[in-house]
Amino acid sequence: MLRWVSSTSQASVLDLAPDLIILELPASGGTRSAQRLKRHFQAPLLVVCHDGQAPPDGADVSIVHPWQARNLVDLVACTLLANSPHLVRAGAMLLDTETRQLQMGGVIHHLRPLGCRILAELMANAGRVMSRDELARRVWEMEDGDVTRALDVHIAYLRRQIEPQPGHPRLIVTEWGVGYKLMLPGG
């Protein structure tokens, strides 16, 4: 949701829980407004400065006038992505663990809960072989119990969802006798 607040002195601004704050500085000053916003909110602060004006302390990102709308949109998207705890990126793969959506090659794949957790672990460890036991422990969050066969079943289902040729996987590969590895294109 987008909400416009014209002044930090408005009482309602303290009731917000923004994902990102965009602050346009006046031609001179604005440092106190930036500091006040950073003190009250955990959200990243994107500051719009005038030419020759330095961004205030506390600004996470800044853009200088004159700017193109496309540049601002790209900067907002990158800032949100960099500060999002539920987004996992590996190569050209982007996984939203909150919505369980994988964006890859211009296609959005909707994953099941366990498939999403498995893929998030593999993406966080891309290029590294994860043993079946280690992967199962992290996904099921338990020390005891043999769930490696269940892991194999979920890996097979995940491959059917995201691999172009599930019978000949190129993304989620098996290291026989060890475990699984996420291979990134070109890696």
**Which CATH superfamily groups domain 11-82?**
Response regulator (3.40.50.2300)
Say what the pLDDT of residue 77 is: 78
Q: How far apart are CA 45 and CA 61, in angstroms?
A: 7
pLDDT digit string, tens, across residues 81-114: 777 778 888 888 888 898 898 988 778 899 999 9
Tokens 């006798």 sit on residue = 177
pLDDT at 13 over 80: no
Mean pLDDT of all residues in 162-176 = 94
Say what the pLDDT of residue 9 is: 55
Q: How far apart are CA 3 and CA 13, in angstroms?
A: 10
Question: Phi and psi of 15, rounded to 5°?
Answer: -85, -5
Q: Does domain 87-182 have CATH number 2.40.10.10?
A: no
- 2 falls in which pLDDT band (50, 70, 90)? low
Provide, rounded to the nearest whole percent, the portion of the chain with pLDDT above 90. 33
Say what the pLDDT of residue 1 is: 54
Report whether 43 contacts 3 (CB < 8 A). Answer: no
pLDDT digit string, tens, across residues 48-73: 887 777 777 778 888 887 888 888 88
Q: Where are the domains of the chain?
A: 11-82, 87-182
Say what the pLDDT of residue 10 is: 53
Report whether 118 contacts 151 (CB < 8 A). Answer: yes
Q: How far apart are CA 171 and CA 184, in angstroms?
A: 6
Sign of CA dihedral 113, 118, 119, 123: positive
Say what the pLDDT of residue 30 is: 67
